[in-house]
Chain A
Amino acid sequence: LAKTTQPISMDSYEGQEVNITCSHNNIATNDYITWYQQFPSQGPRFIIQGYKTKVTNEVASLFIPADRKSSTLSLPRVSLSDTAVYYCLVARGNAGNMLTFGGGTRLMVKP
């Protein structure tokens, strides 16, 4: 499985942009990068996925360089409600839609 490495925790303040970087050095050609968010006492929630370059939706942007060995989740103008754990995952293209969750990044947004 493609192992991912991301910071254990990050702090930010309301209104700031937050960038969480994840490394996945052994990503394979058929793999996609996906990010999930988990609030306390809830199940994870899909945020965004991408293959290369940049993907943007109403919640976040995902930047993937040409070598695809890392990716950066960008959250614009965070609020207190963005305090959560953010998981970076590599979805294997030949493993159905099975996912393996790592430890995630615990983001704390302060007022």
Chain B
Amino acid sequence: DAGVIQSPRHEVTEMGQEVTLRCKPISGHNSLFWYRQTMMRGLELLIYFNNNVPIDDSGMPEDRFSAKMPNASFSTLKIQPSEPRDSAVYFCASSFLGTQTYEQYFGPGTRLTVT
């Protein structure tokens, strides 16, 4: 298996632009997570899907952020409009919920820079 795939790996955009980050989870996994990591705030959980349904989005910073999971093999995280404070590394992770294991598989991340 190729693991969790994220695209793009790097994104540089100007303030006010729309940004879309993409994630392909590991086949067979039924849970998907979006995280954001910065030096100041560490690794924060933004949103969690189970069976394509958003379960907990309490970590989404504000209405400028939205996430979708139209099917089991694809998810997007959109920021519109983007701001410099959104600059961070965004990770997608997937896992299988159904056994008592808490192993999440992380993708390589998307490094977002908003100027």
Contacts and interface: CB of A to CB of B under 8 A. Distances in A.
Interface residues of A, number: 22
Nearest to B91: A43
Contact of A98 (B4, B45, B91, B100): B45
Contact of B33 (A32, A41, A49, A98): A98
Nearest to A87: B43
- Which secondary structure characterizes the binding site on chain A? loop
- Which secondary structure characterizes the binding site on chain B? strand
Contacts of B104: 44, 46, 97, 99
Interface in A82-111: 87, 89, 91, 93, 96-104
Interface residues of B, number: 26
A87 B37 CA distance: 14
Contacts of B35: 101
Interface of A: 32, 34, 41-46, 49, 87, 89, 91, 93, 96-104
13 contacts: A43-B107, A44-B91, A44-B104, A46-B104, A49-B101, A91-B102, A93-B100, A96-B97, A98-B48, A98-B55, A101-B43, A101-B45, A104-B42
Given A42-B109, A101-B44, 7 more contacts: A43-B106, A44-B104, A49-B103, A97-B31, A98-B45, A98-B56, A103-B42
